[in-house]
Amino acid sequence: MLDAFFSGFLQVFTLSTFSLLLLGILIGFIVGILPGIGGAASLALMLPFVFDMAPRDAFAFLLGTLAVTSTTGDITSILFGVPGESISAALILDGHPMAKQGEAGRALGAALMSSLVGAIIGAFVLAAISPSVAPLVLTFKSPEFFALSLLGITFVASLSGESMLKGIVAAGVGLVLSMIGLDPQSGIPRYTFGMAQLWDGIGLVPVTVGLFAIPEIVDLWVRGTSIADKRVGKLGGVWQGVKDTFVHWGITLRCSLIGTFIGIIPGLGAAVSQWMAYAHAVQSSSDKRRFGAGDVRGVLGPGAANNSGLGGSLVPTVAFGIPGNVVMALLLGAFLIKGIVPGPSMLSKHLDLIFAFVWFIVISNIITVAVCFLFLKQLAKITHIRGSLLVPGLILLIFLGAYAEAKSTFDMGLVLIFGCIGLLMEYTEWPRPPLLLGLVLGALIERNFFISYEIHALGFLLRPVVVVILLTGCAVLLYGQFKGHRPRD
């Protein structure tokens, strides 16, 4: 095993492999920054090019692309309040306020360094537990997925500050919105207004950019200033953000593990882990006042969780051939194109390739972070350009992001609708993250509820793991009501 570990490392630095890794990083960097074009779209675009590549080269190219998209997606979330990826939305809550206060450099430094730490932890978890993860993955069936999804909702309720009830209602509305589309049981259209465009439900990208990006653009125009209306000096600098990652090492480590664990469990994905990590960062802090107003811990948590999920989600894909999300499903296609059958046999025949994956993820993140640090200060200066010059480009990028997913102007219309909803929620001080997470988790909750009910009737609620998870959720809700606990980092 040690031989395979070092062999995997050496494989990264052959000329063809390293060149393709760098090319993948470049493509992933550009794609990650552009709103709406995420890891799945970039992987789908790059997949046809791997037919003629050797297996190692092909995965260097694809994993290089994937590994950096979530890192660079954080940049636009922080600078403009426009999520570069749907998995970078949580960074808007504290990253963008930091940019407005002239601390864009600090936020970017914290996001990048925590992403790097998260990626390294996720990659080494992949290396360490792939051979022995079977009991964990096989324990989770439909009842456990149902309970985990409910747990995600309760975590998100804690994001609502002092009004947990508003958070739960918002999450409930998100769950209701997730029911739009064809009923999975009977196939009849639900809440579609007779429109075929809604048969597949509401897309995540239009909702994300509408809820979060439109209000930020309106705010930028109304203020009539640049994004940052203060200059903070060295305290707002990049290296302060890097130091913050290690000062708050507890949050960084725990959120990396949250992201990795969520990634290992098929079906949940980084869209969930970012919010759970953010909720954990809020809950584990004794002083919550600055969360949502520019607390660096609100950047560290989701930053670490986003990137650690890639290593985690590779575990079931490689070890069992079970893709946990759309991106892994596409990567599974790459496995089949190259004639590699993922599963238990891969652990014996291609162990060095698995370790090469680990090093691809680690090294591509190191390179990306190093390159980003070279011009982060220049990026941070964008926040001092007056808003009127940025607004038209941002509006166009938002609509393009919504359009790019399904090539449909209907999704652009959804951006307008959810932009109005986001403005209304912001003005009336209703939390937006729970609505988004309810939309993400709704389909999972409904599908797993029906499968569990069909097999176990209501007895599925008494399964041991389900009981533990539901009790944890109750504890989270009750814990959130009481104040004055000890700081944990």
Q: Which of 131, 172, 321, 343 binds another protein (CB under 8 A)?
A: 172
Contact between 423 and another protein by CB under 8 A: the answer reads yes
39 vs 62: CA distance, rounded Å: 10
Question: How many chain residues bind another protein (CB under 8 A)?
Answer: 65
Closer Cβ to another protein, 231 or 234, answer by number: 231
In the complex, the smallest distance separating the C-beta of residue 99 from another protein, rounded to whole angstroms, is: 14
In the complex, the smallest distance separating the C-beta of residue 383 from another protein, rounded to whole angstroms, is: 10
Q: Segment contacting another protein (CB under 8 A): 59-67, 253-261, 336-344, 395-403?
A: 395-403
Contact between 223 and another protein by CB under 8 A: the answer reads yes
Q: Which of 29, 212, 403, 460 binds another protein (CB under 8 A)?
A: 403
400 vs 295: CA distance, rounded Å: 30
144 vs 149: CA distance, rounded Å: 9
Helix axes 55-80, 104-129, angle to 10 degrees: 150
Pairing type for strands 181-182 and 189-190 reads antiparallel
Closer Cβ to another protein, 364 or 448, answer by number: 448
Both tokens of 184, joined, read 């999975």
| C-beta atoms surrounding 251 within 10 Å | 25
Contact between 235 and another protein by CB under 8 A: the answer reads no
Q: Which of 54, 404, 406, 465 binds another protein (CB under 8 A)?
A: 404
In three-state secondary structure terms, 229 is coil
* Residue 189 DSSP label: E
In the complex, the smallest distance separating the C-beta of residue 224 from another protein, rounded to whole angstroms, is: 5
For 15-31, letters b (16+ CB in 10 Å) and e give eebbebbbbbbebbbeb
128 vs 142: CA distance, rounded Å: 26
Contact 117, 256 (CB under 8 A): yes
Q: C-alpha dihedral over 316, 251, 87, 470, to 10 degrees? A: 60
Q: Which of residues 244-263 bind another protein (CB under 8 A)?
A: none
Residue 135, burial from CB neighbour count under 10 angstroms (0-12, 13-18, 19+): exposed
Q: Segment contacting another protein (CB under 8 A): 115-123, 133-141, 345-353, 424-432?
A: 424-432
Q: Which of residues 13-52 bind another protein (CB under 8 A)?
A: 30-31, 34, 37, 45
Contact between 214 and another protein by CB under 8 A: the answer reads yes
Contact between 399 and another protein by CB under 8 A: the answer reads yes
Q: Which of 1, 132, 336, 392 binds another protein (CB under 8 A)?
A: 392
Closer Cβ to another protein, 119 or 209, answer by number: 209
Q: Segment contacting another protein (CB under 8 A): 3-11, 144-152, 446-454, 463-471?
A: 446-454
In the complex, the smallest distance separating the C-beta of residue 404 from another protein, rounded to whole angstroms, is: 6
Q: CB neighbours of 196 closer than 8 A, spacing ≥ 6?
A: none
Q: Which of 56, 106, 166, 280 binds another protein (CB under 8 A)?
A: 166
In the complex, the smallest distance separating the C-beta of residue 185 from another protein, rounded to whole angstroms, is: 4
122 vs 126: CA distance, rounded Å: 6
Contact between 288 and another protein by CB under 8 A: the answer reads no
Closer Cβ to another protein, 389 or 467, answer by number: 389
For 300, the enclosing helix (H) or strand (E) is helix 297-320
205 vs 379: CA distance, rounded Å: 24
In the complex, the smallest distance separating the C-beta of residue 384 from another protein, rounded to whole angstroms, is: 4
Closer Cβ to another protein, 222 or 478, answer by number: 222
Q: Segment contacting another protein (CB under 8 A): 58-66, 130-138, 317-325, 406-414?
A: 406-414
Q: Which of 3, 6, 128, 183 binds another protein (CB under 8 A)?
A: 183
Contact between 391 and another protein by CB under 8 A: the answer reads yes
389 vs 42: CA distance, rounded Å: 29
Q: Segment contacting another protein (CB under 8 A): 87-95, 108-116, 302-310, 407-415?
A: 407-415
In three-state secondary structure terms, 86 is helix
**Among candidate residues 450, 405, 441, the one with its CA nearest the CA of residue 177:** 441
First to last CA, the chain: 36
| C-beta atoms surrounding 353 within 10 Å | 19
- The binding site for another protein (CB under 8 A) comprises 30-31, 34, 37, 45, 163, 165-166, 168-169, 172-173, 175-176, 179, 183, 185-186, 188, 190-191, 214-215, 217-219, 221-226, 229-231, 381, 384-389, 391-393, 395-396, 399-400, 403-404, 407, 409, 412-413, 415-416, 419, 423, 426-427, 429, 446, 449-450
